[in-house]
Structure 1
Amino acid sequence: MNRTHPESNTPERKQGGRPKLPDGEKRDCPVKVYFDRANYAKLVRRSKRTARPLSEIVYELAVNGYVKEPLSKETIKWLRALAGMANNLNQLAHLGHIHGPQYIADDNKRLSGEISGLIVKLNEQL
């Protein structure tokens, strides 16, 4: 069965693919750049480290003056652990409101020490 638009007899077609960029954001002016071998090797290493193409790295350096590097897997792991500890701390606060602060004192002290240690590690990493 052929679907047609109610006002015309032409079949409906879905727009496929990525939407077009506005004229101001479209990159349509190429620039050819040559590098010596040492600087090219630096770019290739940075490309592998950030998992981004060379053209994107050169563009970011030319426009912004720096390339924002992604967080390391270890840092992401620490941030997830910190989020879990924050959730546990909220649960302890809830229990403290119900049973009183003495009920959670030991757990609170242990957890706050772990959180402090993790924040120190994150500060050293960043």
Structure 2
Amino acid sequence: MTRTQLQTNDRERKKGGRPRLPDGEKRDCPVKVYFDRANYAKLARRSKRTGRPLSEIVYELAVNGYVKEPVPQGVAHCLRALAGMANNLNQLAHLGHIHGPQHIADENKRLSQEISGLIVKLNEQL
């Protein structure tokens, strides 16, 4: 290969990394903000609780007026368990259509009690 062919291949090759943001979405205007110790401590606690940097929290508060809190870990666990039980319920319905409702009555009753218990637990956590 000649030198010009190598240079052409270098230009065509994709560079790694994150793609550039469009000009309208790029944050390029910094603002310096000062807080008293009490309010800074509130922000620091919120940052630690949510696992997000202070700058992101201040930005969301300034732009949106609120910070969307992540779903607590216990609630996420309950929601995953509820999704699994919903899948089991669909499988039971399928078996009920094949073998008749008497075949799945006991399992259906047990599963509905578990689902009710999880819904109660979710309501207590929220």
Does the pair score TM above 0.5? yes
Higher relative contact order (CA 8 A, sep 6+): 2
The structure with more helix, counted as a fraction of residues:
2
TM-score normalised over the length of structure 1: 0.88
What does 1:27-66 align with in structure 2 at a 5 Å threshold?
27-66=27-66
1: CA distance, partners of 2:3 / 2:110? 65
1:11 paired residue number:
9
1: CA distance, partners of 2:9 / 2:95? 62
Instruction: Kindly provide the amino acid, as one letter, of the partner of residue 10 in structure 1.
Output: T
CA gap of 1:94–1:22, structure 2 versus 1, over 3 A, is same
- Percent identity over the alignment is 83
For structure 1, the residue ranges without an aligned partner over 5 or more in a row are: none
2: CA distance, partners of 1:116 / 1:3? 71
2:108 paired residue number:
108
TM-score normalised over the length of structure 2: 0.88
Query: Aligned residue pairs: how many?
Result: 124
* Cα contact 1:3–1:11 (8 A) shared by 2: no
2: CA distance, partners of 1:76 / 1:2? 58
2: CA distance, partners of 1:77 / 1:99? 33
2:86 paired residue number:
86
User: How many Å apart are 1:93 and its aligned residue?
Assistant: 0.7
Cα RMSD (Å): 2.1
CA gap of 1:100–1:36, structure 2 versus 1, over 3 A, is same
